[in-house]
Amino acid sequence: MPLVNGGKIADDSFVKLAVDTPLPESGDILVPAERFLGDADALLKRGGKIGVIWPNNRDIAELVPYLGKVAVVALVFPTFRDGRAYSQARLLRERYNYRSELRATGQILRDQFVFMLRAGFDSFEVKKQADAEAFMQTAKRYSVFYQPTGDGRITALHRRMQLRHSEGVGT
């Protein structure tokens, strides 16, 4: 499953651990929320970056004390029709000011890229190679956005205001 990070297909330095996989000596690891919360202090002291895989039915506020210390938060789309992680992503970015990598995992198709970018995701474990390759093109598919989100894209309502004011200056 290709990883898209920073807009292009990238190597994934992180190894995913299950709840009971032995901890590797070194290297970057992604740990399930349950395991992370159970042993956060020890895990954070270890060498190598650490990320956490957060299920979409657990309150994201529990992760807040650790947000400055983790390198990745991976949110989960068990099916692409299950949109709970969009809300978690926006809360992380817009309410809790999380700034490191926010990864979408699970059933990810190109058809979700724009929504996900707008919700604050910046890396994607994409299900199909062709979709990963089409990332840049698909991400630019829309130029008009009706809603304000933390991604800072200007909304249609505000663009209209700008147009109106710039026209006003000219007359």
Partner 1 sequence: MYAYDEIDRTLVNERVSEFRDQVKRRLSGELTEDEFKILRLQNGVYLQLHAYMFRVAIPYGTLATNQLRALAHVARKYDRGYGHFTTRQNIQFNWIKLAELPDALADLAEVGIHAMQTSGNNMRNVTSDQWAGVAPGEIEDPRIWSELIRQHTTLHPEFSFLPRKFKIAITASDHDRAAIKIHDIGLKLIKNEKGETGFEVLVGGGLGRTPFIGKTIKHFVHGRDILSYIEAILRVYNQYGRRDNIYKARIKILVHELGIEKFSREVEEEWQHIRNSSLQIDDEVIEDIRSRFTYPNYEKLPHMPDELRQAAADGDFEAWRKNSVSPHKVQGYSIVTISLKPIGVPPGDATAVQMDALADLADKYSFGEIRVGHEQNLALPHVAKRDLPALWKALDKLGLATPNVNLITDIIACPGLDYCSLANARSIPIAQELTRRFANHELANLIGRLHINISGCINACGHHHVGHIGILGVEKNGEEVYQITIGGRADEGAALGNLIGPGVKFDEVADVIEDVVEAYLALRERPEELFIDTVKRLGVEPFKERVYATR
Rule CB under 8 A: which residues touch partner 1? Answer: 80-84, 86-88, 90, 95, 109, 111, 114-116, 118-119, 128, 130, 141-149, 155-161, 164
* Closest to partner 1 by CB, 14 or 135: 135
CB of 55 to partner 1, least distance (A): 12
Q: How far is CA 17 from CA 20, 26, 164, in A?
A: 8, 13, 54
CB of 48 to partner 1, least distance (A): 32
Helix (H), strand (E) counts: the chain:
7, 8
CB of 46 to partner 1, least distance (A): 32
Q: At 153, give phi and psi (nearest 5°).
A: -60, 140
* Closest to partner 1 by CB, 34 or 111: 111
Cβ-contact 29, 50 below 8 angstroms: yes
* Closest to partner 1 by CB, 20 or 146: 146
